[in-house]
Structure 1
Amino acid sequence: MSKSVPLFKIPDHQVAGHQALNGQLGPLVDESGLFYKPLKDDRGLREADFYKTLLTDDRVPDHIRKFFPKSFGTQTLEASDKSGPLPHLVMENLMSKYANPSIIDFKIGSRTWYPEATDEYIDKCFKKDRETSSLYLGFRVSGMQIYENQDLGYWKPDRKLTITYTADDVKLVLRKFVSSNQASDFKKEPDCKFASTVYGGSSGILAQLQELKSWFEEQTIYHFYSSSVLIVFDKGSLLEGKKAAPTIKLVDFALVIEGNGILDHNFLGGLCSLIKFISDTNKDC
């Protein structure tokens, strides 16, 4: 009997990063719950090396590893832009277990460029950091989607808009994220119905972020430049009165460098700022 060939498709719930739309190069997923990220340059190979190191680095506590996607090495397959075979980093598809996920991708750090970058790359990143909320908030919204209901589907603002969000915009989005009414209806005040369920509690988003923060307050192994905190929960389940455990994951490690015994103040500062925004939202709700 011949072995079946996996069916690859464009991810349904990707909110940031390069997307395999309109014949462009981007990630693919299969029906088994795997996510394939193309490794097109040195930065991609660095990310693959980071995952390989993470698996064997006993300096990373087990309770922290849960915040990283599971990785399964690399595999060569046809690129989404039909340019030919290309190595892909194979990871778990974080969205495969969610029926109707609401997601926000926060790129962490007031500085997204790494010390070894070229002057041209640094200038490009610094311009973007300065023109978005990164420089003054310590993070920016790279992308998002909020599930509304079965009829309306998702509210998914353009990423060119989300990265320009001001502090007030971020506060509003964090309220919309945990509300039962339609996120796309700007005439209605968000009801924050699910704030305590998603943000609060011993296993909510704030508790998970605090656990991650505690590690960053002491870890000097890595510096995470241009990495993101992904926040997700199944809003469809909450609308139906079911449980929907919220989750955070760290993603995007193409620009991770050695910490050399120095705290990652850039990432830690952004993480603290994000925690403050979410904590204030939870209290106000």
Structure 2
Amino acid sequence: MEEDGLLCPPINQVAGHYAEGGNIGPLIDKAGRFYKPLQNNQRGQHEVEFYEKFWADQTIPPIVQDLFPRFYGTRSVQASDETGMCEYAVIEDLTYHFHHPSVIDIKMGSRTWYPGATEEYIKKCLDKDGQSTSALLGFRLSGLQVYEIATKATWKPGKEWCNALSTEEVRLALKRFVSTNPFSETDPDGSLASFVYGEPGGVLSQLLELKSWFEEQTCFHFSSASILLIYEGDSKSTIQNSPRSGVSVKLVDFAHVINGQNIIDHNFLGGLCSLIKVISQTTADLGKKLPEEPPLTT
């Protein structure tokens, strides 16, 4: 484990809580671990309890576990604002193996509030869901960055840009995410769609694996969780340094996971099916071959 003095803010974070406005932000070390500050009102402890339960459940197939960050427990370290010690959940740094990661954070579900939330919180979520594409598509883009190898620059629009996207603009953003010219607002080439979305082990294959599990699992309901899509933006380092052929799909943010009570999580599953449909349409429109759907997970 790295010494506390070598912890630093993550440069590849595209959404979530940042170290700004008095907030304590996440940190990373040089050993591939991500330190997420435990949120107030028991949210952080709730997320830790989910990780502990999930990784102790031997009924969850390894192919599904691969779609979740590894969990390394909790640790008290100097807070990101250097005001004192803070308790952090220590999880896998999902961009660690990538030299120039292109990343997109997708908030899942048409409803992002959780049962038992306060009226104020529910109203806040309803407003966000209605003003974004959550209510219409069952998901919304929370943040992204795309590395452009020709210019060695990274296109990274802000939260406000992502929140204001219409359904058609979301489709265009998903095309820009797999383009070698992501800075183009009107004519992104989408030339990486086959590698990132359509190839075996690519985004669609992994999302279909996740869908297969969600069609059966009734242990958890994932309110306000996100899916991260990551691939190596520098093609010269893809095979050597990146897992799963250079493309990674991970489910993150578990502060509001609740007991499934033997009921399928239709809110998350509906958003997941919609995301698969939109990415499949984008891939097909670009003339790329789509992967076959796997059999149900056993």
Q: CA deviation at 1:152?
A: 4.6
Moved over 6 A (4+): none
> 1: CA distance between counterparts of 2:37 and 2:238?
36
Alignment of 1:78-97 (within 5 A): 78-97=78-97
| Residues 81 and 175 (structure 1), Cα distance of their counterparts in 2 relative to 1, 3 Å cut | same
1:100 aligns with 2:94: no
Question: What per-residue deviation string (whole Å, max 9, x for no partner) do you get for residues 75-104 of structure 1?
Answer: 001111233211100011111110111111
> 1: CA distance between counterparts of 2:59 and 2:4?
38
| Residues 150 and 93 (structure 1), Cα distance of their counterparts in 2 relative to 1, 3 Å cut | farther
Cα-Cα RMSD? 1.7
| Residues 21 and 152 (structure 1), Cα distance of their counterparts in 2 relative to 1, 3 Å cut | farther
> Residue 246 of structure 2 aligns to a residue in which SS?
coil
Q: CA deviation at 1:168?
A: 0.8
> Residue 199 of structure 1 aligns to a residue in which SS?
helix
- Which amino acid is 1:109 matched to? G
1:274 equivalent in structure 2: 275
Question: What per-residue deviation string (whole Å, max 9, x for no partner) do you get for residues 16-70 of structure 1?
Answer: 0011247641100111111100013111110011101111112322221111100
TM-score w.r.t. length of structure 2: 0.89
Maintained 8 Å contact 1:6/1:31: no
1:174 equivalent in structure 2: 174
Alignment of 1:93-132 (within 5 A): 93-132=93-132
1:36 equivalent in structure 2: 35
Q: CA deviation at 1:150?
A: 6.2
- Which amino acid is 2:283 matched to? N
> Residue 40 of structure 1 aligns to a residue in which SS?
coil
Q: CA deviation at 1:5?
A: 4.7
1:209 equivalent in structure 2: 207
Maintained 8 Å contact 1:230/1:251: yes
2:11 equivalent in structure 1: 12
2:294 equivalent in structure 1: none
1:56 equivalent in structure 2: 56
> 1: CA distance between counterparts of 2:150 and 2:93?
23
Structure 2 residue ranges without an equivalent (≥5): 240-244, 287-298
Q: CA deviation at 1:185?
A: 2.5
2:225 equivalent in structure 1: 227
- Alignment length (residue pairs): 279
> Residue 198 of structure 2 aligns to a residue in which SS?
coil
> 2: CA distance between counterparts of 1:194 and 1:147?
12
2:259 equivalent in structure 1: 258
Q: CA deviation at 1:252?
A: 0.2
- Which amino acid is 2:52 matched to? K
Q: CA deviation at 1:151?
A: 3.8
- Which amino acid is 1:273 matched to? S
> 2: CA distance between counterparts of 1:87 and 1:223?
26
2:296 equivalent in structure 1: none
> 2: CA distance between counterparts of 1:207 and 1:170?
21
Question: What per-residue deviation string (whole Å, max 9, x for no partner) do you get for residues 125-177 of structure 1?
Answer: 11111111101110000100011136452100011110221111111111111
1:247 aligns with 2:259: no
Structure 1 residue ranges without an equivalent (≥5): none
The worse-fitting range, judged by mean Cα deviation, of 252-261 and 161-170 is 161-170
